[in-house]
Amino acid sequence: MSDGFHAEAPPRASVGDLLGDVTRDLSTLLRQEVELAKAEVKQSAQQAAKGGSMFAGAGVAGHMVLLFLSVALWWALGDAMGRSWSAVVVAVVWALVGAVLFVRGRTEARRVKGLPRTAESVKKIPNALQGHEEKN
């Protein structure tokens, strides 16, 4: 049946046009991924800051507790051995606690390796974009 209407095939796009579309779409996708990452980082940073400020407040309160307990210990020991020697004893106890915490903290800090998987992944990106995946 021919009623005068002919369905014309849509014009075929050239390879250059198709590659341009792919490049534009890839660029848009990457830009959107970066924007998403920025938004997630901002939200995470805000939550971390809120938690960090709570920890800071707890640290100040804990410091005050330790301070007053130390004064109480100094006073109690002062009745038995004199105030000056009891102050030395309390100071030595806190020096030992500080030294142990320092050594343990240094040991834990040395175990930090950074971002090894991310660094390895970032090194592979240029070769993957150039089509040289075998170099990865």
Q: What is the pTM of this model?
A: 0.50
Paired tokens of 73? 């210990």
SS3 for 9? coil
Is 83 within 8 Å of 74 (Cβ atoms)? yes
pLDDT, tens digit only, all 136 positions of the chain? 555 566 666 677 788 888 888 888 888 888 888 888 888 888 888 989 999 999 999 999 999 999 999 999 999 999 999 999 999 999 999 999 999 999 999 999 988 877 777 777 777 777 766 666 666 5
Distance CA 53, CA 39 (A): 21
Distance CA 77, CA 70 (A): 10
Distance CA 79, CA 81 (A): 6
